[in-house]
Homo-oligomer: A and B are copies of this chain.
């Protein structure tokens, strides 16, 4: 009773603690093997408070996907693309940063969104649809940046930005997956070098900004 009262007194905080603990548990164990008891212990919250906020484990999982994983991914990429002088530079900086900050430890659990997709897409339609929406938003961010690059003259005008964004995100997820299983940042670096060559080849053959040297070294 007392705990329920506490949960009601600070419902938003309780919810935030639950989401953070559930996100960490799902990062480590995926969704189906995630332990509710462990989440409750980590969040310092009772089962009653949990069910005050989420009808069941599935609803908690959806909330982690949409309020934690989705937000982190999109904010990260939105900033990377906004900060860059042009989309190709922005994408290259972002994949370089991912490669440079990766460690054997950070790679242990790979990309939580991709893990969730591989685990749940085939068995739980509600997750699949929600994950697809996140992937779609991520691709949309990249495609918009590429479209802007086309009008700015930093991306070749005959590029299909949607297809390219899909390819870029698939290469990233495949690369992180390979590095995760190898438990080796060098695997990520190597794959991302291949991706960089692809990205450099998205520049116009002759740059409209007079920086033709950019498209060198793409072989």
Residues of chain A at the chain B interface (Cβ within 8 Å): 28-30, 32-33, 108-110, 114-115, 117-119, 121-123, 128, 131-132, 135, 163-164, 166-167, 169-175, 177-178, 180-183, 187, 190-191, 193-194, 198, 201, 219
Contact = CB atoms under 8 A, between A and B. Distances in A.
A65 B168 CA distance: 29
Interface SS of chain A: helix, strand, loop or mixed?
helix
B135 A122 contact: no
Q: Which 9 A-B pairs have the closest CB atoms?
A: A174-B174, A167-B194, A170-B174, A118-B118, A117-B181, A121-B181, A170-B178, A109-B122, A173-B174
A32 to B, nearest CB: 5
Contact of A181 (B135, B164, B190, B194): B135
A114 B121 contact: no
